């Protein structure tokens, strides 16, 4: 089984002719509501790929929370441990997107996500999961408690990036940053961003395994034993929107590891799944099923 402890948000996408300046009012052409949040996106991706996926987090008692629960259930995610908080809204991200340029602004309201506690995550689905997927959009206390309680493989996406306590890093089996997050964690300045240089940064951050996602370039796998780093390129796909590709990668990696794959095979599977997820709009517009991912794997 795969358990995700993390954020659940509602994304509010506003189509605007021009982004507003300070003190200015603009009128949006359309407003689109979409279920989001890194945690919930990872759970949705994992749920569509296989059975046994559980989500642990907090929503408000509002319509956005209801929409998120319905979306997760439709992705075959068990939501019994998604708690509802009264008097606090479901987390949200409001994103005006400018016509033509695609430039955006983002205002995040953590809402109920900020109230997730260590006690909330002390549940059997966290302790007993074969794979636990974590990110940093909920309080660090809850993330650390989940990592401590876990008996399975712990995968941490360090986003949004922040300094990580050594005690947490020690509990992480696979650290899963994108390039920007890795550079931040390593405290590195501008410089060489070749695969070899990135592998050096990864080894500065932790002795554990690191999988660095590199967008269209694929991923860099830096093994735990100090062995050689390996770059894995994505298969060719018709890219529409890369939003949430990293979340799909996590969910797929979690499913493959839970099914017993070793890290290199799990990464191959996740690279194919994440590539497919870019072929439709938004974070969840093109999440693939297991059969479609397998059809894309080299044999």
Extract the annotated binding site: 9-11, 37-41, 137, 178, 213-218, 241, 243, 246-247, 277, 280, 282
From the CB of residue 186, how many other CB atoms can be counted at a distance below 10 Å? 16
Please, what is the minimum distance in Å from the beta carbon of residue 225 to ligand ADP?
Answer: 22
Residues 294 and 62: beta-carbon distance below 8 Å:
no
Whether residue 247 lies in the annotated active site: yes
Identity of the residue, 7 or 85, whose beta carbon is nearer to ligand ADP in the bound complex: 7
Of these residues, 141, 247, 265, 289, which one is catalytic? Answer: 247
Q: How many residues bind ligand ADP (CB under 6 A)?
A: 18
User: Encoding tokens for residue 91?
Assistant: 């987390």
Please, what is the minimum distance in Å from the beta carbon of residue 224 to ligand ADP?
Answer: 19
Identity of the residue, 32 or 232, whose beta carbon is nearer to ligand ADP in the bound complex: 232
Q: Does 230 bind ligand ADP (CB under 6 A)?
A: no
Please, what is the minimum distance in Å from the beta carbon of residue 203 to ligand ADP?
Answer: 19
DSSP string of the chain, one letter each residue: -EEEES--EEEEEEEESS---TT-----SEEEEEEE-HHHHHHHHHHHH-S-EEEEEEEESSHHHHHHHHHHHHTTEEEEEEEEETTSPPEEEEEEEETTT--B--EEE-GGGGG--TGGG-SHHHHS-SEEEE-SSS-HHHHHHHHHH--SEEEE---S-----HHHHHH-SEE--BHHHHHHHHT--S---SHHHHHHHHHHH-SSEEEEE-GGG-EEEE-TTSPPPEEEPPPP---S--TTHHHHHHHHHHHHHHTT--HHHHHHHHHHHHHHHTTSSTTTTTPPPHHHHHHHS--
User: Encoding tokens for residue 101?
Assistant: 């340029």
Please, what is the minimum distance in Å from the beta carbon of residue 30 to ligand ADP?
Answer: 24
Residues 168 and 145: beta-carbon distance below 8 Å:
no
Which residue's CB atom is positioned nearest to ligand ADP?
246
Q: Does 185 bind ligand ADP (CB under 6 A)?
A: no
Contact code string over 192-221 relative to ligand ADP, x by CB under 6 A? ---------------------xxxx-xx--
Identity of the residue, 122 or 179, whose beta carbon is nearer to ligand ADP in the bound complex: 179
Identity of the residue, 50 or 251, whose beta carbon is nearer to ligand ADP in the bound complex: 251
CA separation for the pair 44, 54 (Å, rounded)? 10
User: Which residues are annotated as part of the binding site for substrate?
Assistant: 9-11, 37-41, 137, 247
Please, what is the minimum distance in Å from the beta carbon of residue 274 to ligand ADP?
Answer: 3
Which residues inside 256-295 make contact with ligand ADP, applying CB under 6 A? 271, 274-275, 278
Please, what is the minimum distance in Å from the beta carbon of residue 172 to ligand ADP?
Answer: 17
- Cis upstream peptide for 160 (omega within 30°): yes
User: Encoding tokens for residue 148?
Assistant: 């401590």
Q: Does 242 bind ligand ADP (CB under 6 A)?
A: yes
Identity of the residue, 89 or 195, whose beta carbon is nearer to ligand ADP in the bound complex: 195
Identity of the residue, 242 or 292, whose beta carbon is nearer to ligand ADP in the bound complex: 242
Which residues are identified as catalytic? 247
Residues that bind ligand ADP (CB under 6 A): 178, 213-216, 218-219, 234, 237, 239, 242, 245-246, 249, 271, 274-275, 278
């Amino acid at each position: 089984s795969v358990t995700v402890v993390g954020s659940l948000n509602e994304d509010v996408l506003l189509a605007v002719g021009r982004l507003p300046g300070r003190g200015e009012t603009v009128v949006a052409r359309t407003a689109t509501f979409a279920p989001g949040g890194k945690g919930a996106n990872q759970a949705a991706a994992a749920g569509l790929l296989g059975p046994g996926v559980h989500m642990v987090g907090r929503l408000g008692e509002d319509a956005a929370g209801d929409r998120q629960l319905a979306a997760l259930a439709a992705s075959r995610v068990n939501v019994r441990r998604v708690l509802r908080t009264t008097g606090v809204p479901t987390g949200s991200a409001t994103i005006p997107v400018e016509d033509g340029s695609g430039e955006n602004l983002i205002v995040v309201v953590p809402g109920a996500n900020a109230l997730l506690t260590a006690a909330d995550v002390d549940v059997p689905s966290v302790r007993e999961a074969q794979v636990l997927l974590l990110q940093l959009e909920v309080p660090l206390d809850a993330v650390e408690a989940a990592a401590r309680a876990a008996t399975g493989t712990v995968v941490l996406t360090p986003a949004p990036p922040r300094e990580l306590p050594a005690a947490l890093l020690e509990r992480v089996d696979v650290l899963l940053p994108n390039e920007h997050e890795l550079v931040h964690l390593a405290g590195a300045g501008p410089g060489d961003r070749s695969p070899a240089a990135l592998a050096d940064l990864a080894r500065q951050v932790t002795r554990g395994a690191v999988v660095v996602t590199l967008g269209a370039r694929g991923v860099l796998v830096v093994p735990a034993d100090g062995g050689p780093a390996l770059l894995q390129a994505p298969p060719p796909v018709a890219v529409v929107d890369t939003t949430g590709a990293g979340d799909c990668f996590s969910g797929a990696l979690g499913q493959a590891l839970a099914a017993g794959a070793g890290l290199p095979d799990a990464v191959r599977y996740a690279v194919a799944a994440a590539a497919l997820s870019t072929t439709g709009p938004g974070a969840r517009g093109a999440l693939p099923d297991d059969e479609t991912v397998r059809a894309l794997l080299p044999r």
